Amino acid sequence: MSARTLPEASFARTALGSGPGLALAHGAGSSVAGTYGPVLEGLAARHTVVGVDYPGSGDTPRSTTPLSLDDLADQLVAAAVAEGLDTFAVSGYSLGGPVAVRAATRHPERVTALVLTATFPHRDNHLALALRIWRELAGPGDRRVLAEYLTMMALGADALEAMPAEQLRQAIGFTADSVADGTPEHAELALRADVRDDLPHITAPTLVISTTQDRFTSTRLHHRLADTIPGARLAEIRTGHLPMVERPGEWQKLITEFLARHGA
């Protein structure tokens, strides 16, 4: 059905649920479980959910060569097809947003809708600086410093300042333990990712979810996506970069209601 030949689906994948297809593209330094875990069962209650772990995440071996959006997008589509889905919606979070956009433009016959959360069409100066620090801290060294940086950057001001000291300490420890080995390669890909030329060619109904307290991807970038993708709708959620941590129920509702409206 797709105009492009798909590769063998070789990335580790998650598949569960039943109903219309929904492919999940996770964020940098994370995995399908790490990004979508708090909403995974809720999404699977209405959809056949398929997601792949990028190289260096989950059970997918780390890559020895630079990552590319085309490869990640094709692997996501190949995994969905391998699970028996001819057509499906795609949800992309953070780095998964450019992956989802690329999947929609490389395989438009298969992608029925897009949901793009806390993401970007290209790096701006702020994101470039944040990614370079993240990439350097993710190398050999003390992961606690990386975890402190990510906790500071990823949580919204409301959530961060509401945390008692012990809860904050636990959050930093959890973050340090869950950093994906492939994080440096993910951050490097995010620095190169640029899907501006793809946006006008998206034909699938699209929802852009703007995380309004985001310190990684600015609302300026969220609005640029919504303004450039034909017919895209913009919704806002008052969180930092982690809606799955701060407001998982609200995030899940935005996704499922949009997909229901568009028959996905």
pLDDT, tens digit, 9 for 90 and up, residues 197-212? 999 999 999 999 999 9
pLDDT in tens, 94-153: 999 999 999 999 999 999 999 999 999 999 999 999 999 999 999 877 789 999 999 999
**Residue 231 corresponds to which tokens in the numbers above?**
């017919």
pLDDT in tens, 49-108: 999 999 999 999 999 999 999 999 999 999 999 999 999 999 999 999 999 999 999 999
Q: What whole-number distance in Å separates Cα of residue 96 and Cα of residue 118?
A: 9
Q: What whole-number distance in Å separates Cα of residue 61 and Cα of residue 118?
A: 26
* Residue ranges of domains in the chain, CATH in brackets: 13-125+182-261 (3.40.50.1820)
Give the pTM. Answer: 0.96
Using alpha carbons only, how large is the chain's radius of gyration in Å? 17
Q: How many Cβ atoms from other residues are within 10 Å of residue 29's Cβ?
A: 30
Tell me: pLDDT of 1 over 90.
Answer: no
Determine the pLDDT at residue 263: 75
Mean pLDDT of the chain: 96
Tell me: pLDDT of 3 over 70.
Answer: no
* Coil vs helix vs strand at 16: strand
pLDDT band, very low/low/confident/very high, at 260 (cuts 50, 70, 90): very high
